[in-house]
Structure 1
Amino acid sequence: MTRKFINREIELKRIKNLLSSDKFEFIVIYGRRRVGKTALLKKAIENRKALYFLCARRNIRYNLRKFSYKVCEFLNIPKAEFESFFDAFEAILSKERNPIVVMDEFGYLVEKDEGILSDFQEIVDEILKDTKAKLILCGSYISVMQGRVIGKKSPLYGRNTMQLNLKPLKFEHLFEWFPKIKFEDALKIYAVTSGIPKYLEFFEGRDAENEIAEKFFDSSSFLYNDAVNLLSEELRDYSTYFQILEAIALGYTKITEIGNYAFIEAKDVYFYLKNLMSLGIVERAIPILAPRKGKRGIYKIKDNYFRFWFKFISEFQEEIESYAQDIAIENFRKKFNTYLGEVFEDLCLELIKNLRFFPFTRIGKWWHKDKEIDIVALNEKMREILFCECKWKDKVNAEKVCKELAEKSQYVQWHNKERKETFAIFAKSFSKKIKEFEGKKIYCFDLKDLKHMFVK
């Protein structure tokens, strides 16, 4: 279902301000597919005279012909075909003093012929630079847009006046998208969509778990097919990336483990992981007090859509495509609550970052050998430390959790004899909330508290 334009006010204002400036502006926008780049662009140029062109994944000559026709329509001149993009922009500037030109999916052109970047350098330097024109290049190939379009080795390097990496919607925006949604349903939808607007369109926001079963476990559905489509479009040798993501989803989180599962030499694994990290699909996590360049880091799937897909869909593709999806759905219903606990933990981390009820200088997860604490936050100046546990359960015994947390906290080696300790527990509900444990301040947050924090 189609939804209204949500939570792009800051980005929209920035773009509109540049479109209203009295000098040349060169804007580069990129972000993963389905994140809402085109909707943002069309909103920004709404009620303005602008040339919007969607590049096709075809050769340069084909795109130039189509662009030529768009230019002629924009200028209200007879249909013609220009010899080059340079000629097309010259024609635009000969008729329009302050043109706005938007080229969506510009990465397609770069993919077909990287020489197009030198052509656009010439267009910027010789035609547009000293005018009031506005040029917007937008793309979904994040690696292409970051590396080849605005990277240090690009002919266009240093020429853009704004670059925007458009991110998915945050969890709190789901309450605006689905005004009457329950907290649990919001978490379930966020846990499988990562806040991607295109994916949210497939949900009503009621009875989320059944909606997920219906939308993902059908071989003809968009949400079932999009993971493979995205990886195959963005990455060469996508089958190797597929195996790596599958390995991480199954719990193989260290480079040697990933390499063994995917049949790749350990020394070659990082190349693939680096590309997945540049796409925002994977991230490296280290314990909060460990050296950043140490060997204790692990890799996890950051994007919830891919995390869910590789945890619940990948293993059962054969069954789903042969209409025997019941076994996959049964596995999903059995393990989904545990999976939600992982997403809930990430959500609580973001909440602490945003609310800052505990002023911290560092925050993250802590683990050592068989000990693990969901969230640890440090105030290094005041030598204060916050220990948090996240329980996706009802009727949590806060005192019992605090006792376990106090025992584990002793293993966190950081000013142990002089620090001030505070505990926080996040849960669906509590059998009884407490405010103090063995002289320590305790925060207990249930779903009612959390919804109040998110829905302001």
Structure 2
Amino acid sequence: MKTIIGRELEKKILREVIESDNAELVVIYGRRRVGKTFLIREFFEKELVFEFSGQYDVKTKIQLQNFTNKLDQSTKSAFPSSLPSNWTEALNRLKTYLNPILDKKKAVVFFDEFPCIDSPKSDFLSSFDYFWNDWASKKDNLKVIICGSAASWMIRKVIQNKGGLHNRITKKIRLLPFTLKETEKYLQSKNITLDRFQILQLYMAFGGVPHYLKEVKKGESTNQTIDNVCFKKEGLLFGEFDSLFRSLFKNHETHVQLIRELSKKNSGLTRNELLQKMSIKSGGTASLVIEELEESGFVTGYIPFGKNKKDFVYKLTDEYCLFYLKFIENNKGKQSWVFMQNAQSWKSWAGFSFESICQKHIREIKKALGISGIYAEESSWRFRGDEKEEGSQIDLLIDRKDGCINICEMKFSEFEFVIDKKYAADIAHKISTFKEVTKTKKTVFFTAVSTHGFKNNEYKLRWVQSEITMNDLFA
């Protein structure tokens, strides 16, 4: 078995599955390329007795032929089997193959890209429903894993199924991209020795998507890697954007339109703002598109401080999509990444990207602050101001149940960040405005989050109560 990097919680769940004395029906979902198939194949290497993957956008007859071919491989049949007339017959053949195996040992059956198998008018889902309830659920040695990249489909059609699969799921896993720590471990496993600042910049372009990180070559700098993978026509991420959404969602044009609108607004957009910009009616279509992008990990919804759910702000938080729309799409190989990285647009964008990555590593930030055991809610806060009063914005604050609030300022810099007189005044204004507008009675701590730390001077001593560096995000 190959080494599985990170995924500690997921491995714990899968260990419980194989050790269970009951039949198990496990759902695993997450964005494309995140490593779902690798995790299942490697973890259940010894127990996996049958695997079938749905093919995107093909007719039922082809799916059935692919299934039959896989079953023939598993049974080591000397002659090709006839094509089953429907999915009920196909799954009955699977039962015949599994019965003698299950009499002797625990076994795993893996249906990959499950949503693709359920092609229009195929009746696959109803057949699978009957397969599970009538037979599979009674086989204590059987562990069935169903997996899909179309996360919203998996939730609506399987996890929240109102028919025969209702409440039948025994375990579910939402597989997310690697954290910074897991990314570092993955690169180390390939004997790639980039320092953490280089890894952070790589993460800004690739995110923690294992399939993208496989493109990093030993001995190359982050700049070389980004140039080769993103800006050369043969590079994996040069044309990944369109195929990514086309393979995940029907009518994917609406999803892409929403992604594009969010990419223009770093601070995010409310639902109403999104509807206005996209010229689509409020209701089912908008809700479904937003839900699908959220569950697939491209978009994240936040409740601003002091607001409620109706004030949700949505942000585009997928690193590759942000990077593609900002730098790759309009460049298309015209300029090298080394040249573009020296432009002011990169420096401004890197600051925003670092903020987004910090928001994904709240657990690590809380650990560094020593408040892991304290219940806290993370949010953003904005005061628009008016003609008489200057506005203010906080991109991350941690509202704690122990009577304190951390106002976090996140700064991306090649060197130590220096608080000068002007920035010190901005900090003072931000804190005083927040206290005055929110009327909070809690103690407010100013927390500096940066790549290489804040340089010691009189302003740092005056304002910074706690400091977090890039290394803490890798903890």
**TM-score, scaled relative to structure 1:** 0.86
Identity of aligned residues (%): 21
Change (3 A) 1:21 1:419: closer
- Separation in 1, partners of 2:134, 2:149: 27
Query: What's the CA shift string for 1:53-85, capped at 9, x where partnerless?
Result: 223233333333332343344344554235512
Match of 1:422 among 445, 448, 456: 445
Match of 1:122 among 130, 133, 150: 130
Note if contact 1:366-1:372 (Cα within 8 Å) is conserved in structure 2.
Answer: yes
Which residue identity is paired with 1:88? R
- Separation in 2, partners of 1:421, 1:181: 37
Note if contact 1:288-1:364 (Cα within 8 Å) is conserved in structure 2.
Answer: yes
1:396 aligns with 2:417: yes
State the partner residue of 1:149: 158
Change (3 A) 1:119 1:433: farther
- Separation in 2, partners of 1:307, 1:233: 19
Note if contact 2:28-2:146 (Cα within 8 Å) is conserved in structure 1.
Answer: yes
- Separation in 1, partners of 2:429, 2:204: 31
Alpha-carbon distance, 1:280 to partner = 1.9
Change (3 A) 1:270 1:103: closer
Question: 1:34-433, aligned counterparts within 5 Å?
Answer: 34-48=33-47, 50-57=49-56, 58-79=58-79, 80-81=81-82, 82-83=84-85, 84-97=89-102, 98-113=106-121, 115-131=123-139, 132-179=141-188, 180-204=193-217, 206-251=220-265, 253-255=269-271, 258-259=274-275, 261-264=277-280, 269-294=286-311, 297-314=312-329, 316=330, 320=332, 325-326=334-335, 333-334=342-343, 335-349=345-359, 350=362, 351-358=364-371, 359=374, 361-369=376-384, 370-380=391-401, 382-393=402-413, 394-398=415-419, 400=421, 401-413=423-435, 416=439, 418-427=441-450, 428-432=452-456
SS in 1 for 2:118: helix
Alpha-carbon distance, 1:287 to partner = 2.2
Question: 1:11-30, aligned counterparts within 5 Å?
Answer: 11-30=10-29
Note if contact 2:31-2:296 (Cα within 8 Å) is conserved in structure 1.
Answer: yes
Alpha-carbon distance, 1:200 to partner = 0.5
- Separation in 2, partners of 1:417, 1:313: 44
Query: What's the CA shift string for 1:174-201, capped at 9, x where partnerless?
Result: 2212233212211111111220000001
Query: What's the CA shift string for 1:238-260, capped at 9, x where partnerless?
Result: 22332322222122834565455
Alpha-carbon distance, 1:442 to partner = 1.4
SS in 2 for 1:353: helix
More displaced, 328-337 or 384-393?
328-337
SS in 1 for 2:323: helix
Change (3 A) 1:69 1:235: closer
Alpha-carbon distance, 1:119 to partner = 0.5
SS in 2 for 1:396: coil
Query: What's the CA shift string for 1:410-454, capped at 9, x where partnerless?
Result: 22247757432322112334331679755x7612334xxx32x34
Which residue identity is paired with 1:130? K
Note if contact 2:231-2:336 (Cα within 8 Å) is conserved in structure 1.
Answer: no
More displaced, 38-47 or 234-243?
234-243
More displaced, 112-121 or 194-203?
112-121
Note if contact 2:223-2:337 (Cα within 8 Å) is conserved in structure 1.
Answer: no
Query: What's the CA shift string for 1:147-193, capped at 9, x where partnerless?
Result: 11222335322112111111111111122122332122111111112
Alpha-carbon distance, 1:107 to partner = 1.4
Note if contact 2:397-2:405 (Cα within 8 Å) is conserved in structure 1.
Answer: yes
Alpha-carbon distance, 1:33 to partner = 0.9
Which residue identity is paired with 2:110? V
**TM-score, scaled relative to structure 2:** 0.83
Note if contact 1:59-1:109 (Cα within 8 Å) is conserved in structure 2.
Answer: no
Aligned positions, number: 440
